[in-house]
Homo-oligomer: A and B are copies of this chain.
Amino acid sequence: MSLASWNDGAARTAILEFVDRVSEEGGADYVPPAERVAVLDNDGTLWCEKPTYFQALFVFARLGEAVAAKPELGEQPVVKALLAGDLAGAQQYGLEAIAGVLLQLDAGRTTEEFTRDAAAWFAAAKHPRFGVPFGELTYAPMLELLDLLREREFRVFIVTGGGVEFVRAIGEELYGVTPDDVVGSAVQVSFERRDGRIVLVRQAAMLGSPNEGPPKAVNIQAHIGVRPIFAAGNSAGDAEMLEYAHTGDHPSLCLVVDHDDEDREYAYESLAATNADAEPILETASRLSWTVVSMRDDWSRIFAG
C-alpha cells in the first residue's frame, strides 16, 4: 500500500489526490513528467534535526582532532567554547564565527577526502538520545512519499540548508537520491593538481549565501532549472521554496512537517537558521493553505530504522 505509515487524514488524502491529478493523462491538471519536479528539505523534513543539525555534531566530533593538527584553531574563543561542549557559549560569538570554524576545519581537504570523512563518521556515530546510527533516523513516512513520487515519474531533489557535500555523502544510501540531485549550501573549491591528478580543494569560504530562504528558489533554478510542483519543508527557511512551487502555472502541493510529537521525536517550532524574524512556517502555511503534516497525528510510525 502507498504511504503505509501515514494515518488516514487530510495530509495523506491531499498527497494521494495530488499525485493522481497531475499524472492522469488527459485530465485537466495533467503535468508532463518532464515538469514533475519535487523538492524536499532535509533537516527536520526527511530526517531528525535534534538535538541539533547532525552536520554540527559531525563537526564538533572532529574539532578536537582538528585542533591537535592545527593548534592555532584552538586559540579562538569560539573554538574553546565548542571544545568545552558549551554550545550556548559558542553561539554568543554568532553564527558567522561558528561557520568560520567549520570552514577552516576542512580547508585544504579535497572534495573526495571530505566525502570519505563524512561517510566514516556516519558509519560510526550514534544519536545521543536514540542511541542508533544517524542513518536510522530518517522518517519512514517521508521515504514512502519519495517512493510514491518516483512511481509517478517525479524527479526528486533534496534542497537543503546543510552542506551539499555532507548530504551527498549519504543521500543515495538513505534516500536513493544521487549526488547530482542534492542542492545545498556550498564552499568554494580551488582547482589544483596534486601528484599529477586534478583535485578540487575546499577553501575556508562559502560559495554564495547559505541555501535557505530566497536562495533556495534561486538555487533550484541554478541546479534544477525547472519550477517544482511539489515542495516539502519544516522551517521558516523553507517558505520561499514552497511559495515558488505554489506560484507556478501548474497545480502544486506544498507540505509542512509539524514537529509536535515530543514522545516519539521532538516538539518544537522550526525557525530559519539565518533569519530569526521570518514568519513562522505554520502561519505561512495557514495563510497560503498549504498542507500541514502532524507527526503525532498523521504518522503511525516515525523512524525508518
Contacts and interface: CB of A to CB of B under 8 A. Distances in A.
Given A198-B247, A218-B191, A227 B178 contact: no
Contact of A180 (B179, B200, B223, B227): B223
Contacts of A207: 222
A226 to B, nearest CB: 5
Interface in A149-174: 155, 157, 164-165, 168, 172
Contact of A165 (B165, B181, B225): B225
A217 B240 contact: no
Interface in A100-156: 111-112, 155
A257 interface: no
A85 B244 CA distance: 41
Contacts of A215: 191
A162 to B, nearest CB: 14
A176 to B, nearest CB: 10
Contacts of A168: 225
Contacts of A226: 178-180
A65 to B, nearest CB: 25
This protein's copies in its complex: 2
Interface residues of A, number: 39
A187 to B, nearest CB: 10
A224 interface: yes
22 contacts: A37-B180, A111-B221, A155-B180, A164-B225, A179-B225, A179-B226, A180-B180, A180-B181, A180-B224, A182-B225, A186-B222, A189-B218, A189-B221, A191-B214, A191-B217, A197-B248, A198-B240, A198-B243, A198-B244, A200-B218, A207-B222, A223-B223
Given A155-B180, A191-B217, 14 more contacts: A34-B172, A34-B178, A111-B225, A157-B180, A168-B225, A180-B225, A189-B221, A191-B215, A191-B218, A197-B247, A198-B217, A198-B240, A200-B217, A207-B222
